[in-house]
Amino acid sequence: MDDFSVPVSIPLDSDGFLRRECPTCEGEFKWFSHDEGDPDAEVAEQYFCPLCGVPAGCDSWWTPAQLAYMQGVAAPEIDRVIRESIGDAFRGIRGVTFRQNADFGLGTPTPDPLVEPDDMIIVEPPCHPNEPVKVPEAATARLYCLVCGAPFAA
Ligand SMILES: [Zn+2]
Ligand SMILES: [Zn+2]
C-alpha cells in the first residue's frame, strides 16, 4: 500500500485562531493560523507556551478533542483504502470473487464536526506582534512569546 495522508480540517474561530493545549502545563490558548505562504508567519521548529513559557515541538499542541476528532475522521478513510487495496489484490485471480463487506475494518462512524467558540482575548507579544495569541483573560498578567519565549504582560 502506498503512503497516503488524510486531510482533516480543524475549525478556527472567527478571528482565525486555532485552539491549542500545552503538553507541559495542559493550559489552553489559541495561536493565529497563518495562511500557507503568509510572509508574516514565523518558521519555527518549536513554540513556547504563552502560559508557562515551556517550549514544545510544532506538532505537540493538539487538544484531546482535536486528536479524537482527527482519529475519528481518519479511521473510515484508512478503512476504505485498506478495503480497496484488498479488492485490487484479488482482482484478476480466476475463481476468486472478492466481496465488499461493509462490516470489514474499524467501521468507525465519522464524528460530528468540531465547533470552535470565540472565547479568550487576543494579545500581541511586543517582540513578535505578527504572532498574536489568544489566552484566558485571567492569564494576561504574565505571558510568553510563542516564537521566542520572551515574557511580557498584556
Ligand atoms: Zn504551558
Ligand atoms: Zn518574541
On average, the pLDDT of the chain sits at 87
Across residues 9-24, what is the average pLDDT?
Answer: 96
pLDDT in tens, 132-141: 999 999 999 9
pLDDT in tens, 51-64: 999 999 999 999 99
Across residues 96-112, what is the average pLDDT?
Answer: 60
Ligand with an atom nearest the CA of residue 147: 2
* Ligand 2: centre distance to CA 105 (Å): 47
| 75 vs 48, higher pLDDT | 48
Is residue 142 within 8 Å of residue 34, measured between CB atoms? no
* Ligand 2: centre distance to CA 145 (Å): 5
The answer to whether residue 84 scores a pLDDT higher than 80 is yes
pLDDT of residue 1: 47
* Ligand 1: centre distance to CA 61 (Å): 10
Across residues 29-45, what is the average pLDDT?
Answer: 89
* Ligand 1: centre distance to CA 138 (Å): 14
* Ligand 1: centre distance to CA 21 (Å): 8
pLDDT of residue 99: 62
The answer to whether residue 104 scores a pLDDT higher than 80 is no
| Residue count (the chain) | 154
* Ligand 2: centre distance to CA 69 (Å): 31
* Ligand 2: centre distance to CA 112 (Å): 36
* Ligand 1: centre distance to CA 127 (Å): 19
Ligand with an atom nearest the CA of residue 52: 1
Q: Which pairs with CB-CB distance under 8 Å and at least 24 residues apart come from 99-107?
A: 104/79, 105/79, 106/75, 106/76, 106/78, 106/79, 107/76, 107/79
* Ligand 1: centre distance to CA 139 (Å): 11
Is residue 47 within 8 Å of residue 146, measured between CB atoms? yes
What percent of the chain clears pLDDT 90, i.e. is strictly above it?
A: 57
Across residues 63-81, what is the average pLDDT?
Answer: 88
| 107 vs 115, higher pLDDT | 115
Instruction: For 25-36, give the DSSP string.
Output: T--EEEEE-PPT
| 125 vs 73, higher pLDDT | 125
